[in-house]
Structure 1
Amino acid sequence: MNTFADTLAEAVELLRGLPRTRDGVPAARRAVAAWCADRPQTKVQLVTDVRPGSPIVDYDLVLAHPDGGDVALTAPTGDGVPWTVDHSTHFASGRVLTIGDHEVLVQNALLTLRARAEGDPSIQEELIDHCLLEELIGQETEKPTQEEIQDASDGYRIRRGLLSRDEMMRWLENVGLTLEAYDNHITGLALRQRVRARVERETARDYLDRHPGEFDQVWAVWATGPEHELSAGLPHAQPAGGVEVTSAVRAARELPEPLRRAAAGKTVGPVPYGRHHLVGEIRERRPADPDDPATLAAAGRAGFAAFMAERRAAADIRWHWL
């Protein structure tokens, strides 16, 4: 039977053998998990320090002592100074949150916040989803292809209007990123896009089968504004008094919530809607076509959202800063 001293010696060899690059972190976590599985009596936590703007990663192993308390092992590279001493700060000072063994660093959080567009989920959900996707990325056995990286980079730059090298370099300088840090971010983004595309493909048909009404093609006309302006129903003349009228053909799930399940010919409202009220009318409703590529793509996006909601509900989430 191994003594705690034997376990410490083995842990040192494990720690020294972990990959020290950013893209090797998932493999390091798998190696520690496998080592722990062979020693169920030993409680171990891997602490990861991903240096901002650098491909180098440092680790600690924290082992529970059989007589109480913990023992921390570190095996620094480079100048030999343990990263915990080098930083001289609280262990979570660089983190925004931790989910299981996966952490979101301040740098990752700021990138997420900068990329946030109006209409996306809350900041908290975005950060949680980032961490949950990182966990899925850690299960990928193949690195992103050059085509995946290029597609991710092109999409990232186009969304920000960075259409020339000069614009790109100015933007990197403004946000404080090196080219190396940008490349690391895009590599992760390419893997997240791969995982998302796979989940969308795997969930699209099932989600459509279970929620066909969400993808009916609906022609609806609705007005939003103060309740007293809508009390007579849907305006037929030029609206006034802060009333806004919309006529559109959309998938049912993309309509204002009060109209999504209404039948053809049905009038809804006035009902509370956001800061105002809504009144609307369903002019036509056609059942979803299960073989339509656009419908399947929309069902995949909805399936992915449901998939992530389930993972958020089941996750062990600890907030450090928010």
Structure 2
Amino acid sequence: MTSAFDTVLTEAVDLLRTLPRRRDAVPEARRAVAEWRATRPATRAQLVADIRPGSPIVDYDLVLAHPDGGSVALTAPADDGVPWTLDHSTHWASGRVVTVDGFALLIQNALLTLRARTERDSTIQDELIDYCILSDMAGRERPPTQEELQQASDAYRVRNGLRSRADMMRWLADVGLNETAYTHHIFGLALKQRVRARIEQETARDYLERNPSEFDHVWALWAEGPEDRLAELAGAPDPAAALIQALSSRDRITVTTADGPALDLPEPMRTVPAGAVTGPVPHGKGHLLGVVRERRPADLADPRTLAAAGRAGFAEYMAERRAKAAVTWHWL
């Protein structure tokens, strides 16, 4: 004979199996459980949600009050049949690196972020915090289109030199991912790229209007190395010619030339007028000597200028978000 609680269990299982399992749909799942609980108030049903490591997929437990006392927890995993409570049976923060404004960065995602890291000015800590901020924002987006997913995957594979399926499979083995995990990673990456593109578009014009000189077109060259050697070059009758000559000589310095926006120059040279010599001044791990040969005002109508301003506006936006974020480091 079927008891009333047996019926409740059957309904609860059916409900649990139909809940949307993407992270951005958790509020919808909670509403569905609340509506069901209203029809079965004696169950005092509570939904417990957990986000899978390295994945936008959410797992659920549904906890019900038993009529004879105590509680019953129901789990309905959709894929591997392992309840998430077993997968995460260690300390609640053991898989976390940092939590930013409530968004937890898991070790798997941190390692992917570090693997994709190039030589940039930002610190590892800033990059991990940025990952959390962007992931949290991406979690509020609608799912990516097939075109967005393809673009994100193509760009990611090109950046990592994955030109063939064999290259791809070797790379997955190296980083310890399967194809499903890669798909989840690209899903999140496509959403973060969408968020970034929107912020760049929203901030570009304002940043350009506030900082037009950063986008002046500059032809410049500079050398980095020991202060004494740079001082010798600075004392030459024509420091620019001395730097150009040093390009083809075996010397203790590194000489770089640039023909583009002032923002791409080393910070000590970005506002230097045409014909001016900068340095030697401390820069990086050594010293810098720079010469600006030409400088033309920015073409504010140039799409490339606006795109560069968007990138700078995005960097400024993220710096402001980092400064305001509540950050808890779990492993540092």
Name the SS for the 2:75 alignment partner: coil
CA distance in 2, matches of 1:52, 1:159: 24
* C-alpha distance in structure 1 between counterparts of 2:271 and 2:282, whole Å: 16
Give the superposition deviation at 1:319. 1.0
Structure 2 residue matching 1:117: 3-state secondary structure: coil
Q: 1:120 to 1:47 in 2, by over 3 A?
A: farther
1:201 aligns with 2:170: no
Counterpart in the other structure of 1:162: 162
1:93 aligns with 2:94: yes
Whether 1:309 aligns to 2:319 is: yes
Q: How does 1:30-109 map to 2 (within 5 A)?
A: 48-52=49-53, 57-59=58-60, 75-78=74-77, 83-84=84-85, 87-109=88-110
The answer to whether the Cα contact below 8 Å between 2:223 and 2:288 also exists between their aligned partners in 1 is yes
| Equivalent residue, structure 2, for 1:257 | 267
Q: Partners in 2 of 1:81 and 1:168 — Cα distance?
A: 28
Q: 1:259 to 1:55 in 2, by over 3 A?
A: closer
Identity between Structure 1 and Structure 2 (%): 58
**Structure 1 residues 162, 120: CA separation in 2 closer, same or farther (over 3 Å shift)?**
farther
Partner residue in 1 for 2:179: 179
Aligned with 1:306: secondary structure?
helix
Question: Aligned to 1:89, what secondary structure does the other structure show?
Answer: coil
8 Å contact from structure 1 (residues 220, 282) kept in 2: yes
Q: Quick one: which amino acid aligns to residue 26 of structure 2?
A: A
Q: Which has the larger radius of gyration?
A: 2
Match of 2:300 among 290, 293, 302: 290
Q: Report the alpha carbon displacement of residue 195 of structure 1 after superposing the two structures with TM.
A: 0.9
Aligned residue type for 1:118: E
**8 Å Cα contact 1:20/1:58 also seen in 2:** no
Gaps of 5+ in 2: 1-11, 35-46, 64-70
Does structure 2 retain, via aligned residues, the 8 Å contact 1:48–1:60? yes
Report the Cα offset of residue 55 of structure 1. Answer: 7.0
Provide the aligned C-alpha RMSD in A: 3.2
Q: In the alignment, which residue of structure 1 is the partner of 2:6? A: none
Q: 1:287 to 1:89 in 2, by over 3 A?
A: same
Which one of 23, 26, 36 corresponds to residue 25 of structure 1?
23
> In 2, distance between residues paired with 1:73 and 1:104?
30
CA distance in structure 1 between the partners assigned to 2:217 and 2:72 by the alignment? 60
Q: Is the 8 A contact 1:229 1:241 kept in 2?
A: no
What do the CA deviations read for 1:276-320 (whole angstroms, capped 9, x no partner)?
Answer: 222222211111111001100000000111111111111111111
Matched with 2:254 is: 244
The SS at the match of 1:231 is helix
**Number of residue pairs matched by the alignment:** 290
